Amino acid sequence: MMRNSHFREFSVLAFDAASVRGCQFRRRGAQYAVERSVVESIEAHDPAEAWRRVLRRLGRGRECPLFLTGALAGGIFFRFLSIDLPPRARREALELELPQRMLTVPDNCRFQFFAGETDAEGNVPVNVYVIPGSALEHPAAMLTQAGGRADEFLYPLLAVRAGDPPADLPRTDPDFGFEDGEWRPSPPEPDFRPWLTIFSSEFKLPADGGFRVGDFFECLLAARLVVSPSFGQQERALRLLPAELRPRRYRNQLRITALLVLLIAGNYLWSAAGSYRQNYQTFSRLAGERDRIKAENSSLTAKLRSFEKEQRELNRVVSLAAGEPDVLPKLAALTSILPSNVMVSSLRWSESSVDLMLQSEADNLDLPSLFRRIPYWKIGQLQQRRMGDTVTMITLKLVPAGEASK
């Protein structure tokens, strides 16, 4: 059931044994106006045809709520006073109240109730309508054959409040009417003038004289219940029709909502996958660029070190002195004094010294006397070591003759 605050328009269809009546209500400002009202007589050979014609003449759209009203076979209506309870607790209390209010509780009974305003003593008048489960078969068959679905069935007298005028339903219950919370015999001609005053204040009735309150009394009572402020809060208490007779707009809305959720989730996952793929590609590209830069940096560092080494070597070569022009004569003089049994295994010549490693088989080699013949050098260091019985290893350092005494 939809909440009445959401209704832009709604329809009410009232049925009895001889006719089907309908009213189309549309919100006009703060009130609902009766836009259309139709009456069709029921034909014995095709009772559902009157239902089809009324639904067609009302001109309601697929999203327009439809409420049924009338009297169901075996239905019982009563009012009792209750304390202020939540709807669920009131339903449980009502289930205990039914055996006390009814001689026999119908088989597979279903009921709906509507609570009024709390009175001065703190009591809440509750209107209750009880039916056997089989009572819905006739309206269900008519509604199905007419190709329609209804949001709910609302018994007309559920809308009667404490202090309202007598409510007579000559088409559904010609013998009794409801007044001051009790049933009483109906007069031969019910007086609808007090109700005309009430409905004129609650609805915008058609201005032409063709609309009579008595002809659409059940529709107006049901509409009064729909537009009441507490209708949305008590919708579960009014639920009487099985789900098979209700419109599938809610199922379609749920399916559309589920589809939209799936589409949104799919779009989100697609966007997330695209974003992840783009981020992964960007990360891979940046990682490759980083590795390339690191390789270039390592290569440049190695080249820089090589250049620095070459620079140091060049600087060392540049800083070397030009040398002595008589190096060769000095070297020739050095080699000329060495006996034939002495082999030079290593020679290192620098500006400040000459380092020699000699090998000789002589046992009594007198190097100091040999080097006195050369005026250029003198012995700075001399070490001799016998290697076995035949070879003597000699380490000799010569310094310029002017530095021998240092």
Rg (the chain; Cα; Å): 59
219 and 340 share a domain?
A: no
Asked whether the beta carbons of 222 and 154 are under 8 A apart, the reply is yes
- To the nearest whole number, what is the mean pLDDT of the chain? 87
Integer CA distances (angstroms), 381 to 73, 354, 364, 368, in order = 140, 11, 18, 11
For 45-85, the pLDDT digits (tens) are 999 999 999 999 998 887 889 999 999 998 999 998 888 88
Whichever domain contains 392, its CATH number is: 3.30.1360.100
Give the dihedral sign, CA 123/124/127/130. negative
61 and 179 share a domain?
A: yes
Asked whether the beta carbons of 151 and 239 are under 8 A apart, the reply is no
The confidence score (pLDDT) of residue 249 equals 59
156 and 205 share a domain?
A: yes
146 and 269 share a domain?
A: no
Q: Judge whether residue 406 has pLDDT over 60.
A: no
Q: 93 lies in a domain?
A: no
8 and 142 share a domain?
A: yes
Diameter of the chain by CA atoms? 170
Q: Whole-prediction pTM value?
A: 0.62
User: Which of residues 220, 241, 262 is at a domain's end?
Assistant: 241
38 and 164 share a domain?
A: yes
56 and 152 share a domain?
A: yes
Range of the domain at 384: 327-403
32 and 147 share a domain?
A: yes
Q: 339 lies in a domain?
A: yes
Of all helices (H) and strands (E), which one includes residue 129?
strand 124-131
Whichever domain contains 21, its CATH number is: 3.30.420.10
The confidence score (pLDDT) of residue 96 equals 86
For 178-226, the pLDDT digits (tens) are 998 899 999 989 999 999 999 999 999 998 777 899 999 999 999 999 9
Q: 124 lies in a domain?
A: no
Q: 148 lies in a domain?
A: yes
Sheet containing 110-115: give its strands across. Answer: 76-82, 124-131, 110-115
215 and 331 share a domain?
A: no
The CA distance from 346 to 394, in Å, is 11
Closest by Cα among 385, 395, 387, 397 to 358 = 395
236 and 250 share a domain?
A: no
Number of structural domains in the chain: 3
392 and 353 share a domain?
A: yes
146 and 181 share a domain?
A: yes
